[in-house]
A and B are shown apart, each in its own frame.
Chain A
Amino acid sequence: MLEIKDLRASAGDKEILQGISLTIGKGEVHALMGPNGSGKSTLAQVLAGHPAYEVTGGQVRFEGQDLLDLQPEERAQAGLFLAFQYPVEIPGVTNAYFLRAAYNELRKARGLEEVDPMDFLDVLEEKLKTVEWGPDIMSRAVNAGFSGGEKKRNEILQLAVIEPKLAILDETDSGLDIDALRIVAAGVNRLRSAERSFLVVTHYQRLLNYIVPDVVHVLVNGRIAKSGGKELALELEARGYDWVDEAAGVA
């Protein structure tokens, strides 16, 4: 599904990703953990094609394509989805319009016919259940005036509508109370399948109690310092990140 080889990226003069290698197979859920400033979110944004970062080295293959060659919208059309850490507010565009526009752009890219607003309502009805929402949310402007929890739920709703091959969740758990966390995690779990992979970026182990990963990676200073099974997350929770840092330093 996704193969990252020695990826390096900078913001301005600062190199943030200093040679990341990571492979995610079909249907796998990988967690990416690490202290603040380790480059977790940068990796998520670089994979989505954020223009603020410059890729200075390495390769990324996604479903056999050179991901770094693609524009952000082409990455989305190829099946990559990023749930933003800070979803953007878009006053004046309703959630319904936004979701249908995205849905139709992706259909167009696959040579399928666009759906009209009425048919899209049927599509939505099912998807709203994923995040335990009623239809009211559809007439509100995208994320405008949403609480932190609502914004994250809205990201998962988009994920449900767009049905990507690979979903990157960038600190989706940050700023969520326990109820919202449960809803968001349950939504993600409903969307897990043998065909869909996840990269769950998080600072805390808490989310991984709900979204149980197959593999856990620890990112320190722009490099993967350690990888392991789901028990690695628990160890990080108990011991913090410093020991990984030191271990990596020794290695």
Chain B
Amino acid sequence: MTEPYVRQFEAVGGNGAGDGPSWLPRVRRAAMDRFATVGFPSSRDEEWRFTPVSPIAQTDFRPAAPAALTRSALQPFLFGHPEWPQLVFVNGKFAQDLSVLPSLPPGVRLGNLATALAGDTGLLERHLTRHAAPETTPFAALNTAFIRDGALVYVPVDTALDRPVHLLFVTSPDAGGTVAHPRNLIIVERGAKASVVESYVSLAGGATYFTNAVTEVVSGENAWTEHTRIQRESERAYHVGLTHVDQARGSHYRSFTLAMGGAIARHNLHVRLNAPGIETLMYGLYLTHGDQLVDNHTAIYHDHPECNSWEVYKGVLDDRSRAVFNGKVFVKPEAQKTDAKQTNRNLLLSSGAKVNTKPQLEIFADDVKCTHGATVGFLDPAALFYLRSRGLPPAVARKVLTYAFAGEVVNEVALEPVRRELDRLVLARLGYPA
């Protein structure tokens, strides 16, 4: 049901009237045409086989409107030091009054995309939509058609951001029935260092709304980037996200994605290794219950030799919830000495929960080390008995083991305050007192 979106697009003059640089309307228009042509994916599409998006396609979402929130309303979502940089977006629109923009090293740009587009000197034209191609998924095309606002993080050459940057996307209490298309661009230049946390949260309680986000990450030569994505939307919301990462020679990119919200939540993480000597770490954790469906699709493109990628996604599923994991590893013929390891482990807390996991390795080089493994299982009865024999009641023993299972990936987050916040979220979800 692409028509409502086409109507919305045309209603704002091709979505290009009066804002943004001259090159953008063409990009938006092409993306809109693309989306109108391909439409929403169906379950016949291999990439969406286990994730029916018809509830999203069949709902006539209105464009999200700005809303005023108080800083105290954001309290549950904040962490770390109050002076740390923070960009807050309400219903996809930048909220300057809620944001924290401390003084930063020279050349660092931290702000919103709408403002940056209005005064672009070429940086955005070089990067925006050049990494996450609209063709990647129909949702990426839709997001591109509606590019308006989102976060811009730019860290210049040889500059280190020692504090994590928090990009906080909040849905306001009255935003039921709306759709937002946040678009983010993170550029960490040669020799620079940054840690960015991207959070999707909700004050809309049990409301149904739709977040369709795209984030582009550019990691320069020898850059160090830590990217943490926290998805805790309303459990009746729909969330679709694409993160595309382009890495240059010698760079280190590490991602952690926590998915615990949404009725249907899908995240694609695509990482392209554009030179030799790159290191990529991809960690993920999904915690689902009720009737939630959480889908993680990852793809890593080993296009050059001597790159290492290490991927561990873990899931904890309760009730009747479902999870999908698809991990693609592409190794080109010239990508010799590739070392790629992928693991997906799932813990079922209920016999009604279900996982579809699929590693997908396409390796065309012969001198490589590529491994993958996927497991789905229940808590180990031997371990449960061991803990009970030491006096722990079964409910406590189950929690300890579940937390241990999840904690193994959380521990891989490099920045301590970020790790602590993730730990807190996981503990709270597992029912530990704060």
Residue numbers of A with Cβ under 8 A of B are: 48-51, 71-73, 75-77, 81-82, 84, 87-93, 97-98, 101-102, 105-106, 109, 141, 158, 162
Contacts and interface: CB of A to CB of B under 8 A. Distances in A.
Given A51-B381, A101-B396, A105-B396, A90 B389 contact: no
B407 A49 contact: no
A72 B385 contact: yes
Nearest to A83: B389
B374 to A, nearest CB: 17
Contact of A73 (B380, B394, B407): B394
A158 B390 contact: yes
Central interface residue in B381, B391, B396, B404, by most chain A CB within 10 Å: B391
Contacts of A84: 386, 389
Contact of B393 (A73, A82, A98, A158): A73
Nearest to B409: A92
Nearest to B410: A92
Contacts of A73: 388-394, 397
Nearest to A75: B389
Contacts of A105: 390-393, 396
Central interface residue in B380, B381, B383, B405, by most chain A CB within 10 Å: B383
Interface of B: 380-383, 385-394, 396-397, 400-401, 403-405, 407-408
A162 B390 contact: yes
For the residues of B in contact with A, the DSSP-based class is helix
Contacts of A98: 387, 390, 400
A48 B391 CA distance: 11
B96 to A, nearest CB: 42
Contacts of B393: 73, 105
A19 B389 CA distance: 24
A63 to B, nearest CB: 15
A92 B407 contact: yes
A240 B389 CA distance: 33
A4 B385 CA distance: 22
Contacts of B388: 49, 71-73, 76
A75 to B, nearest CB: 8
Central interface residue in A71, A73, A76, A109, by most chain B CB within 10 Å: A73
A76 to B, nearest CB: 4
Nearest to A107: B391
Given A92-B407, A93-B404, A101-B400, A109 B391 contact: yes
A77 B391 contact: yes
A250 B400 CA distance: 52
15 contacts: A50-B385, A51-B385, A71-B394, A72-B388, A73-B389, A73-B392, A75-B389, A81-B389, A88-B380, A88-B386, A90-B386, A102-B387, A102-B392, A106-B391, A162-B391
A72 B393 CA distance: 9
B423 to A, nearest CB: 12
A141 B411 CA distance: 13
Central interface residue in B388, B389, B405, by most chain A CB within 10 Å: B389
Contacts of B389: 48-49, 72-73, 75-76, 81-82, 84
Central interface residue in A75, A84, A88, A158, by most chain B CB within 10 Å: A88
Nearest to A51: B385
A164 B400 CA distance: 23
A159 to B, nearest CB: 10
Contacts of B408: 91-92
A12 to B, nearest CB: 16
Contacts of A141: 404
A80 B281 CA distance: 46
Contact of A92 (B382, B392, B394, B404): B404
Contacts of A101: 390, 392, 396, 400
A158 B396 CA distance: 18
A238 B13 CA distance: 99
Contacts of A91: 404, 408
Nearest to B402: A92
Nearest to B408: A92
Contacts of A97: 400
Contacts of A106: 391
Nearest to A77: B391
A49 B400 CA distance: 20
A98 to B, nearest CB: 8
Nearest to A80: B389
A102 B404 CA distance: 16
A71 B385 CA distance: 10
B383 A88 contact: yes
A220 to B, nearest CB: 27
Contacts of A88: 380, 382-383, 385-386
Contacts of B386: 84, 87-88, 90
Contacts of B401: 90, 93
Contacts of B405: 92
A141 B407 CA distance: 12
A98 B405 CA distance: 14
Contacts of B397: 73
A98 B386 CA distance: 11
Given A71-B394, A105-B393, 17 more contacts: A72-B385, A73-B390, A73-B391, A73-B392, A73-B397, A84-B386, A88-B382, A88-B383, A90-B383, A90-B404, A92-B404, A92-B408, A93-B400, A97-B400, A98-B400, A101-B396, A105-B396
Contacts of B403: 92
Contacts of A109: 391
Contacts of B381: 51
Nearest to A161: B390
Central interface residue in A51, A92, A106, by most chain B CB within 10 Å: A92
A216 B392 CA distance: 32
A217 B403 CA distance: 43
Contacts of B382: 88
Nearest to A82: B389
A111 to B, nearest CB: 14
Nearest to B388: A72
Contacts of A50: 385
A71 to B, nearest CB: 7
Nearest to A50: B385
Contacts of A76: 388-391
